[in-house]
Each structure stands twice: as structure tokens, then as C-alpha cells.
């Protein structure tokens, strides 16, 4: 079976099951796309994994940064695991759990015999300490609160193997939140360290199948398998220790060097491969893995605080002036599906909004005319002596973001609107991007396989991509959308599953009706691997897992 047909059927399956939403959904579809998988797994060997960037802080809630997640996923375990095939949340470190009716109390029974790699037990007390830290932060140690845990109040250790969590308000996304990379469990020694000391990977003591053996800062990291590891997810076919002996992460920033090294047999798996390089790799018989990040799609968002885009007609005009089809076909591959809503097809609660996202240049022109923006002498739209000229900062982590924005700029040019695509160092870009006057348009995306992700993206006190007042930007004058925020609040605290999904649908419709965002494509994480690397799997937002990976003899 080819990889593509496999991932296609997975997406289909995921979409089907998405309808019967499972309380907090992680680990959808793509995963275990083993090419062949023939024969019994071979034990031993070192997997050489080329990373594009060095990891930064490895405090588990900071696992969102791709290089961090790629390491944390091997060295930490989570309370729960979501089976990629059935999409159910399954036992892992927690043997079982109960949730009360309004999702304000969660009780977990912890598996016995689990230890962190420093020898300390992973028991109820350790779990409680982890979640108290993730859910409330720690001011003295400067540890920030985890983004995936909403409305956390406190923990209670009932007995050595039982822990109970209380929430101030319903927190229906919590169960899924216990399965994500950002909720990796670490030993008390790690939790006692200040935030600024957690960039040293050797200090991150987890209970995972691999342990950090050595590190050369910014250059190399070696993980070794834990021989006594015997607490993988209970329903997983593979039990016991990992097949690999070792994983070597080597930071190799240059794209062509990573690909060349893979094809020359010097590396086994590489992260981050651009769409235009995929063909070369596939032609040589190597494999591309492009697991979806399953969250809010790669989009262009508006900052309505800027008067130029305050009028919904202008935003809607630009939405219809954007030819997503052309962007995907020109710059990307089939691994980058065209967006049909603000969240991915495989995300829970997805509704198909393609009719509202049509490319319609006549409609765009008409809307701009209606809004009072007339074509001036130079072909640009003008109103009251002002030109409709907007700016956006390139986002470095997103694939071919500059090219994408430049293509959008060309498309908008056809209706007389100018978009300046600006480049800056990541520091200045971060600051300027928080100012609606400087960045009325912005690229945006975020991955997490739970409807809470929509709140994360748009809510003023979370990522606040629309730049509402009261959020992370002090440059906003007045823009607030109470209706949107109300819907997002409801989304994060509605305990009833079907009602919660209905709210998710409502938010997607609302954001598109208001044309706050123009969804472009569903963003994958793209990897390439040698054909003898078997059973590479990926978690919900595309981070690799090498627990069941093995190396077949090279042909």
C-alpha cells in the first residue's frame, strides 16, 4: 500500500469518527504509517535523526516548539494515550479514571511499578505535583501555566495510587489534555528546578522509554533506551522496552544537507522537508511522512482594531480575493490539503465551510465598492484620500510562509489592494506583530487535537491572534468581539459532548462570516525517512514517537 493512499484512508476514518467525538481528542489518524512492516521487529541499533533547530526550554508545557516535542515525546509518558485507530482515550500511566457529570472533578488510578529514570516512583503524589505545577504555574520557579489546562483548581492525593483533580469551572478538554506532549510527566527533581535551567536536556527526568544520555548544547543529543521500561500504553501491541538502543539527534540547519545526508545513508530520519523537495526524496525510494497538526489551519488573520480592516465588507472582499487553490497547487504538495474551515478536517468538531470560502473576484470587487473603496488613478483602492495598503510579517516557523504571503499579495493586487510582506528578526517580528497598526494582517496557525484549540487561538487572554483589547498587546485601542469570546468560553467549559461540538461549529461559522480569518491549508509536519526505518509513528500534532520504531537490515 502506498503511503498516500494510507494517509488518505486515515483522514477519511478520522473524519468519520470525528462525528462521534470522543471526549478530548488527541492522536487522530496519522501515525504508524509503517511502509510494509514485514517480519518481526529487529532489536537494537541507533536511529540518526536530523533536526533543523536546536531545542529550547524543555519544561513539558513548552513542548509546542517542534524540536522540543520531538525529544519530550520519547522521554516522558503521559497519564493517558489516545489510540490512533479507535481514537479513544486509553489507559497509560493512569489505569482508569472517572469524570463527574459537569467535568469539574477527575479521578485517576495510577498504574503501579512505574518509576522515573532517577529511580523515584511515579505515583499519585508525583502526578499531583506535576499537574499542580502545569495547572497553576510556579511563580518562584518562573514556571508558566500550561496552555492545555483550563480552569484548574487543585489536586488531592487519595491514596498512593489515586489522585483527584478539582476544577473551578467545567473543563471538558482536560482528559485530552492529559494525553498531549505538554503534559509529559517529570520527576519531582525536575519540577524543583527554575524555568531557566530546563533547557539542559539531561535535567529532564521522565519515565519514558528513552533517557537522555548525553548532550552537546545546540548540536547533539543522545537518548538511550531504558531496559526496564515496561509501562507503555496498555493496549499497544508493542510492550516492554523500545526496540532501538539509541536515538541520536543532530542539529543540521541546512535543508539540502539534511536531505543529502539522508539519501547518502548518513541519517535515518529527518525533520522538516519543504514541499518542493518531496519529489526528489520519493524518487529515490525514501518515504515522506506528513502527519497533520490537526488544529487551527494555516491562515491569514485580520486585526480589526486597524481601521483599514475594521469593516467586515473589506475583510470579506479579501477573503474572496484569495485563491487558496492556487496557493496550494503552486507552493505545496498533496500533503498540504486545502483548508475548508478554520480547523483541519481531521480536527474534532470540524464543519465544512467551503461554500463560504469561495474564490470570487467579482464579488470581492463589488464588496470593496460597497465599502466605499474605489479604484484610484494608480489602480489602487482609495477612500477619503487613504489607500488600502496593508502589511504582514512573515512567520518563520510556518512552511514557505513568505512565499505564501507574497502570492496572497499578488492575488489581492488584482482587486487593487496592496499587501506588504515584511521580514524581520524573530524578536522584532514578535513585537511588531502585536501592533494592529503595524500588522493589520498576520499569518497564524496552532496545532492541538481538541476543540479547545480554537479558544487558544482566538481568545484575548490566550494567543489572541485577532488582537482584541485586554490581551497580550497594549497597542490595541478598542477592538473586542464579545460574541466571539462568549462562544469561546462556552467551548472550553461545556461538559456535554454534543453541545460542545455544536458550539465548535458555531465558532467556525462565526469566524468565517466575520471574515476574521482566511484559512489557507491544513498544516502537516513533514518528515522524510529511509525505507528500512519501520513503524515510525506520530502523535496528535505530528510529533514523532520512536517507541515502536525498529531498523530493518539495509538493502
Partner 1 sequence: MSRYVIGRIGQAALVLWAAFTVSFILLQALPGDAILIKFLNPELGLGPEQIADIRASYGADSPLVVQYFHTAANFLTGQFGYSIHAGVPVGDLILANLPQTLWLSTLGFLLSVVLAVALAALSALSPFLWLRSFIQSIPALFISTPVFWLGILLIQIFSFQLKLIPIINPGPWQGLILPVMTLAVPISAPLAQILMRNIDHVLTEPFVAVARAKGASHRWVLWKHVAKNAVLPTLTIGGILFGELLAGAVVTEAVFGLNGLGGLTQRSVNDQDIAVLQAIVVFSATAFVLINLTVDLLYPVFDPRLRVRQGAVA
Residues that bind partner 1 (CB under 8 A): 48, 50, 54, 56-59, 61-62, 64-65, 137, 139-140, 142, 144-145, 147, 195-200, 216-219, 248, 250-254, 256-257, 260-261, 263-264, 266-267, 425-428, 430-431, 434, 446, 456, 461-463, 465, 470-472
Residues in the chain: 555
User: What is the rounded distance in angstroms from the CA atom of residue 287 to the CA atom of residue 532?
Assistant: 10
Shortest distance in whole angstroms from residue 168 CB to partner 1 = 15
Give whichever of 199 and 232 is closer to partner 1, judged by the CB atom. Answer: 199
Shortest distance in whole angstroms from residue 523 CB to partner 1 = 14
Per DSSP, 155 falls in state: E
Shortest distance in whole angstroms from residue 529 CB to partner 1 = 15
Shortest distance in whole angstroms from residue 20 CB to partner 1 = 28
Shortest distance in whole angstroms from residue 37 CB to partner 1 = 26
Burial class of residue 360, CB neighbours in 10 A (0-12, 13-18, 19+): middle
Give whichever of 301 and 321 is closer to partner 1, judged by the CB atom. Answer: 301
Give whichever of 122 and 267 is closer to partner 1, judged by the CB atom. Answer: 267
User: What is the rounded distance in angstroms from the CA atom of residue 165 to the CA atom of residue 149?
Assistant: 11
Shortest distance in whole angstroms from residue 543 CB to partner 1 = 13
Burial class of residue 264, CB neighbours in 10 A (0-12, 13-18, 19+): exposed
Residue whose entry in the numeric block shows the C-alpha cell 492575488: 411
Going by C-beta distance under 8 Å and a sequence separation of 6 or more, which residues neighbour residue 66?
A: 53, 271, 272, 397, 525, 543
Closest C-alpha to 342, from 489, 520, 499, 486: 520
DSSP 97-123: EEE-TTS-EEEEEEPTT-B-TTS-B--
Closest C-alpha to 161, from 206, 207, 125, 119: 125
Give whichever of 33 and 301 is closer to partner 1, judged by the CB atom. Answer: 301
DSSP 138-149: BTTTTBPPPTT-
Closest C-alpha to 69, from 156, 181, 176: 181
Give whichever of 54 and 505 is closer to partner 1, judged by the CB atom. Answer: 54
Give whichever of 256 and 378 is closer to partner 1, judged by the CB atom. Answer: 256
Give whichever of 46 and 387 is closer to partner 1, judged by the CB atom. Answer: 46
Residue whose entry in the numeric block shows the C-alpha cell 501491541: 237
Give whichever of 251 and 502 is closer to partner 1, judged by the CB atom. Answer: 251
Shortest distance in whole angstroms from residue 67 CB to partner 1 = 11
Give whichever of 50 and 357 is closer to partner 1, judged by the CB atom. Answer: 50
Burial class of residue 355, CB neighbours in 10 A (0-12, 13-18, 19+): exposed
Per DSSP, 357 falls in state: G
Query: What is the phi/psi pair of residue 50, to 5°?
Result: -95, 125
Coil, strand or helix: which one is 480?
coil
Shortest distance in whole angstroms from residue 1 CB to partner 1 = 31
Give whichever of 154 and 438 is closer to partner 1, judged by the CB atom. Answer: 438
Residue whose entry in the numeric block shows the C-alpha cell 536530523: 50
Amino acid at each position: 500500500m502506498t503511503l498516500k493512499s494510507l494517509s488518505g484512508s486515515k483522514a477519511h476514518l478520522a473524519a468519520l469518527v470525528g462525528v462521534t467525538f470522543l471526549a478530548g481528542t488527541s492522536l487522530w489518524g496519522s501515525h504508524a504509517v509503517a511502509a510494509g512492516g514485514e517480519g518481526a521487529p529487529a532489536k537494537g541499533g541507533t536511529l540518526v535523526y536530523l533536526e533543523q533547530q536546536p531545542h529550547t526550554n524543555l519544561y513539558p508545557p513548552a513542548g509546542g516548539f517542534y524540536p522540543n516535542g520531538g525529544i519530550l515525546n520519547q522521554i516522558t509518558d503521559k497519564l493517558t494515550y489516545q489510540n490512533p485507530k479507535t481514537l479513544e482515550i486509553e489507559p497509560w500511566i493512569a489505569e482508569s479514571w472517572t469524570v463527574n457529570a459537569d467535568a469539574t472533578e477527575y479521578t485517576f488510578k495510577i498504574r503501579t511499578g512505574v518509576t522515573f529514570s532517577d529511580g523515584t516512583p511515579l505515583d499519585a503524589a508525583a502526578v499531583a505535583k506535576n499537574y499542580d505545577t502545569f495547572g497553576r504555574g510556579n511563580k518562584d520557579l518562573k514556571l508558566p501555566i500550561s496552555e492545555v489546562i483550563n480552569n484548574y483548581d487543585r489536586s488531592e492525593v487519595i491514596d498512593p495510587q489515586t489522585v483527584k483533580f478539582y476544577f473551578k469551572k467545567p473543563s471538558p478538554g482536560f482528559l485530552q489534555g492529559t494525553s498531549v506532549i505538554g503534559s509529559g510527566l517529570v520527576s519531582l527533581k525536575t519540577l524543583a528546578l527554575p524555568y531557566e535551567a530546563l533547557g539542559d536536556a539531561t535535567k529532564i527526568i521522565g519515565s519514558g522509554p528513552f533517557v537522555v544520555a548525553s548532550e552537546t548544547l545546540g548540536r547533539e543529543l543522545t537518548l538511550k533506551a531504558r531496559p526496564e521500561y515496561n509501562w507503555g500504553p496498555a493496549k499497544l501491541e508493542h510492550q516492554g522496552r523500545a526496540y532501538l538502543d539509541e536515538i541520536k539527534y543532530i542539529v543540521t540547519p541546512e535543508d539540502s544537507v539534511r536531505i543529502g545526508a539522508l539519501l547518502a545513508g548518513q541519517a535515518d530520519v529527518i525533520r522538516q522537508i519543504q514541499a518542493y523537495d518531496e519529489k526528489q526524496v520519493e524518487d529515490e525510494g525514501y518515504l515522506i511522512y506528513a502527519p497533520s497538526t490537526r488544529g487551527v489551519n494555516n491562515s491569514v488573520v485580520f486585526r480589526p482594531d486597524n481601521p483599514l480592516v475594521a469593516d467586515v465588507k473589506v475583510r470579506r472582499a479579501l477573503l474572496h480575493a484569495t485563491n487558496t487553490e492556487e496557493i496550494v497547487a503552486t507552493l505545496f504538495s498533496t500533503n498540504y490539503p486545502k483548508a475548508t474551515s478554520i480547523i483541519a478536517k481531521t480536527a474534532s468538531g470540524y464543519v465544512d465551510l467551503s461554500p463560504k470560502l469561495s474564490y470570487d473576484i467579482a464579488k470581492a470587487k463589488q464588496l470593496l465598492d460597497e465599502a466605499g473603496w474605489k479604484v484610484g488613478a494608480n489602480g489602487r483602492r482609495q477612500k477619503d484620500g487613504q489607500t488600502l495598503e496593508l502589511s504582514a510579517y512573515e512567520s518563520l516557523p510556518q512552511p514557505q510562509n513568505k512565499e505564501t504571503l507574497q502570492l496572497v499579495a499578488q492575488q489581492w493586487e488584482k482587486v487593487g489592494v496592496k499587501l506588504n510582506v515584511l521580514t524581520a528578526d524573530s524578536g522584532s517580528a514578535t513585537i511588531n506583530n502585536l501592533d494592529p497598526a503595524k500588522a493589520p494582517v498576520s499569518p497564524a496557525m496552532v496545532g492541538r487535537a481538541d476543540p479547545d484549540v480554537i479558544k487558544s487561538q482566538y481568545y484575548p487572554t490566550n494567543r489572541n491572534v485577532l488582537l482584541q483589547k485586554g490581551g497580550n498587546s497594549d497597542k490595541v485601542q478598542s477592538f473586542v468581539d464579545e460574541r466571539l469570546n462568549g462562544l469561546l468560553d462556552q467551548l472550553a467549559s461545556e461538559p456535554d459532548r454534543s453541545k460542545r461540538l455544536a458550539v465548535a461549529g458555531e465558532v467556525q461559522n462565526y469566524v468565517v462570516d466575520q471574515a476574521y480569518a482566511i484559512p489557507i491549508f491544513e498544516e502537516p509536519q513533514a518528515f522524510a525517512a529511509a525505507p528500512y526505518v519501520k513503524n515510525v509513528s506520530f502523535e496528535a500534532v505530528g510529533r514523532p514517537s520512536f517507541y515502536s520504531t525498529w531498523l530493518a537490515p539495509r538493502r
